[in-house]
Amino acid sequence: MLTDKTAAEETATTVHPAPATPDIESLITYFEGGFVPLRDARVSIMTHAFMYGTAVFEGIRAYWNQDHGQLYGLFIREHVERIRNSCKIVLIDDVPSQDELTALIVETVRRNNFREDVYIRPSFYKSTKAIGVRLHHLESDLVILTIPFGNYVDTESGIRIMTSSWRRNADDALPARGKIVGGYVNMAFQKSEAELNGFDEALVLTPDGHASEASAANIFMIRDGVLVTPPVYDDILEGITRKAIMQLAADEGVKTEVRTIDRSEMYVADEILLCGTGVQVSPVIEVDHRKVGSGAVGPIAQAIKERYFNAVRGRLPEYRHWLTPMHEGV
């Protein structure tokens, strides 16, 4: 059911910069087995992960609800399970259990006593100080940092994207299903190319020319009332937010189809939206100088976006299982 936007929902999706933190270096971070101020979480320039990108990470959001006096972590356990899978891919062993790692993330956030939206980034990294490209016979460590965080892109009026000349790395070269730090250089090429050409984001193609993702977000298009998204075998990240969008669409009575999408099909889509922890839910209004639909945010994208932001802030009881309350006793 499509609904008009309320004032509360407008506030929820307004673009705002990350709130100023008086002393970000004092924020509590989990680092190599203990809780320390961010200023003390330091690694050597000889650290293998620093030199070769041999680390994995997750980006997790937590949303502040002023009325509830509560900070809600979004899909924490799902992110924990994905980072544990990423560790398997890059040969990181002895990873904490899902319960243990979830508890460490929650405790890191609680120690900072945030009263605003935040970004949480756990990362396992190869901590051995060594020269030489490899994954085996290296020690690893864990860091969890969390900082105040606003919107990554414009989620309100819609964004403009361009097809990047840089293709998505294939699974048999650098698997996209793992959030591998070194792999994000591929995405940096795409994002910078788009922004330096006056766009907000990149449409990234697979090596054989099909739509894959944005630089760091999953993508959906809407044609004839059907929500369509590329399959996992088109070198996408197995997105946690992507899965949530499909659930939200179903709850709005919108059919979802998973299939390969041609580049030109994006030009004739009725609506397009990006989703992910960073971009959240961001409707697209232009692709390669071509208007998407009417050139304004479409009704299905708008309905999904509004439902999403209400869900992640704890306003919709039916999605409360997505959330982990971060403050005790509330």
- Residue-wise pLDDT for 83-126, tens only, equals 999 999 999 999 999 999 999 999 999 999 999 999 999 999 99
Other Cβ atoms less than 10 A from the Cβ of 328: the count is: 7
Confidence of residue 204 (pLDDT cuts 50, 70, 90): very high
Catalytic residue among 179, 191, 291, 305: 179
CA 225 to chain centre: 26
Find, among 41, 22, 39, 21, the residue nearest to 31 by Cα: 41
Instruction: Answer yes or no: is pLDDT of 199 > 80.
Output: yes
pLDDT tens for 218-262 read 999 999 999 999 999 999 999 999 999 999 999 999 999 999 999
Q: What is the pTM (predicted TM-score) of this model?
A: 0.91
Instruction: Answer yes or no: is pLDDT of 179 > 80.
Output: yes
179 is catalytic: yes
> Where do runs of H (alpha helix) occur along 17-153?
48-52, 76-89, 98-112
Confidence of residue 153 (pLDDT cuts 50, 70, 90): confident
Other Cβ atoms less than 10 A from the Cβ of 42: the count is: 9
Instruction: Answer yes or no: is pLDDT of 22 > 70.
Output: no
- CA dihedral sign of residues 36, 105, 240, 296: negative
Q: Which domains does the chain have, with CATH numbers?
A: 17-148 (3.30.470.10), 153-312 (3.20.10.10)
CA distance 57 to 289: 34
Other Cβ atoms less than 10 A from the Cβ of 17: the count is: 9
* Mean pLDDT of the region 63-75: 97
pLDDT: which is higher, 273 or 329: 273
pLDDT score for 330:
56
Residue length of the chain: 330
